Chain A
Amino acid sequence: MSKWMLACGLWCASLNVQALDDPWIVLQKTAFAARELNYQGIFVYQNGNQMRSVQITHMNHGGHELTRNIVMDGQPREVLSQGSDIVIYNAQNDKVVIEKRRGQNLFPAMFPTNLDALKASYEAKFGVVERVAGRDAQVVELVPNDSFRYGYRVWADTEFGLLLKMILTSSSNEILEQIGFTQLSMMNTRDIDWFQPKIDASKSYVMEDAAEVNHVTDNWVIANLPPGYRKIDHIMIAVPGKSVPVNQLIFSDGIASVSLFIEPIIKGTRPKMGHKQVGSTHICANVVDGYQVVVVGEVPAETVRQISRAVSFRKQALVDK
């Protein structure tokens, strides 16, 4: 009799496991939930010794995503996004500087909807169920396949599927960065009057000069990228204090991203060299054939170092492409 009960119990357990047998589906659900649900809450972001609270309101209004993020600590900052267009209001002493950006995967939409790239570089495993922001959450561990990326621990809301919390862990399981809701609620309203910045009439509003991408010169070869990393973007940016625009190439393995900066060294300036870590961010600076190469990313030191070494220059003058 007891044997029969045990067998029955095992069968029930296996059913339960089958319903949740793929942790990747849980991660993919977080990607859709973050973009499709209407919610508001407060999340905290911590990296190294820095911490910020952010108030978020998100709504999917007839297929258009509207988000407003208000940074509650430090410099007043509001981030309004509509689809992939992002407008940032930076309140400074006597003015508000408006910046425009495109296509960021902002919290809680940290994961892309297509996880194929991630599957090549990480293994996903189920963890326990824990409470986060007063809600039950399924833990999923993303374990890297090699030493070129950090590990992630993800808490996904068991009811709505939304990403509630995420931490970045080093190979020695040390927490490098964390971001998570402390309070979250679903919205029932269809009203979008919240989708506007707080206007301070006493300040002038200044548009930040957008960096013009007129031509992209590339006489370099990036031969030996760490496994799993692909180039996802290449832009020319104006860096404050620099007379020439700087090339910024962005690489990603699906979740971790690394920026590679390339610029010619101007005569009479001292190049930068060396390595530094700030929180989860590693920076590596190198000089290659008269070019300054700087690599920045929330990835292990080995990854930024390998990318900085992967750059070589073709022997030719800079030619407009």
Chain B
Amino acid sequence: MKEQLSALIDDEFEISNADHLLIAAKSNGELKQAWMSYHLIRDAMRGNIPQCGQMTGRVMAALEDEPTQIAPAAAIINAAMVKKPVYKTSRFWSVAASVAAVMFVGLMLFQSRSIDENALNPIEIADNMPTEYITAHQTYAPNSASYYVQDASFTEPR
């Protein structure tokens, strides 16, 4: 429905079929909001928003009027520190919890990395001949004529 509304605003929707949209835009809160937003967006895209240039100036002026405060919250914090020991403050516990969580996650990452290092770093058999498997195959498989060809190095560990 919002898509149809957007199309209607852009003149891409048959207005004679748009009664339901207009009724909905008048009554329904969400669709009314959309109706207004789309118009604002369209106006902004066409550069039709008159106050835009004056906004910065108004904000700066308001800031000028604010009185200057030096360390405004210091007094309040001091009062709080005197009242409660550090470990009783909620801020302490939230920091402690964060530290513990970071350490826990870090430890897990560290541990999983130490396992993965082996798994992710396999031995390429093209570089490192798995002679123990070849020997076992030649020893137990039938029809293996290579039975006679076992290298000295193949039988060495036996």
Q: Which of B123, B142, B155 contacts A90 (CB 8 A)?
A: B155
Q: Which of A71, A75, A233 contacts B140 (CB 8 A)?
A: A233
With contacts A52-B148, A52-B149, A267-B115 taken as known, whether A75 is within 8 angstroms of B129 at the C-beta atoms is no
Q: Which of B130-154 contact A (CB under 8 A)?
A: 130, 132-134, 136-137, 139-152
With contacts A259-B136, A273-B124 taken as known, whether A281 is within 8 angstroms of B118 at the C-beta atoms is no
Whether B137 pairs with A259 at a CB distance below 8 angstroms is yes
Q: How many residues of B contact A (CB 8 A)?
A: 34
Summed over the interface, the residue pairs from A and B with CB atoms below 8 Å come to a total of 143
Query: Smallest CB-CB separation from B146: which chain A residue?
Result: A47
Complex: how many Å from CA A273 to CA B125? 6
Q: Which of A221-240 contact B (CB under 8 A)?
A: 232-233, 235, 237, 239-240
Whether A270 pairs with B142 at a CB distance below 8 angstroms is no
Whether B123 pairs with A272 at a CB distance below 8 angstroms is yes
Q: Is B81 an interface residue (CB 8 A)?
A: no
Whether B118 pairs with A107 at a CB distance below 8 angstroms is no
Chain A: minimal CB distance from B131 (Å): 9
Q: Which of B122, B141, B142 contacts A287 (CB 8 A)?
A: B122
With contacts A270-B123, A276-B126, A298-B144 taken as known, whether A239 is within 8 angstroms of B133 at the C-beta atoms is yes
Complex: how many Å from CA A287 to CA B118? 12
With contacts A241-B157, A268-B118 taken as known, whether A248 is within 8 angstroms of B140 at the C-beta atoms is yes
Query: Smallest CB-CB separation from A101: which chain B residue?
Result: B139
Chain B: minimal CB distance from A145 (Å): 19
Whether B134 pairs with A271 at a CB distance below 8 angstroms is no
Q: Is the interface of A mostly helix, strand, loop or mixed?
A: strand
Complex: how many Å from CA A276 to CA B133? 12
- Residues of A contacting B125 with CB < 8 Å? 272-276, 283, 285
- Residues of B contacting A235 with CB < 8 Å? 140
When each residue 50-88 of chain A gets 1 if its CB lies under 8 Å from chain B and 0 otherwise, what string results?
101010000000000000010100110101000000000
17 A–B contacts from the bound complex (CB under 8 Å): A45-B145, A47-B145, A103-B142, A239-B133, A239-B136, A240-B132, A241-B132, A248-B136, A248-B137, A250-B142, A252-B141, A252-B142, A257-B143, A258-B141, A272-B125, A273-B122, A274-B124
18 A-B pairs besides A105-B142, A273-B123, A283-B134 with CB distance below 8 A are A47-B146, A69-B148, A71-B148, A74-B151, A104-B147, A106-B145, A232-B142, A239-B136, A241-B157, A252-B143, A257-B144, A259-B133, A259-B137, A272-B122, A272-B123, A274-B126, A281-B137, A296-B134
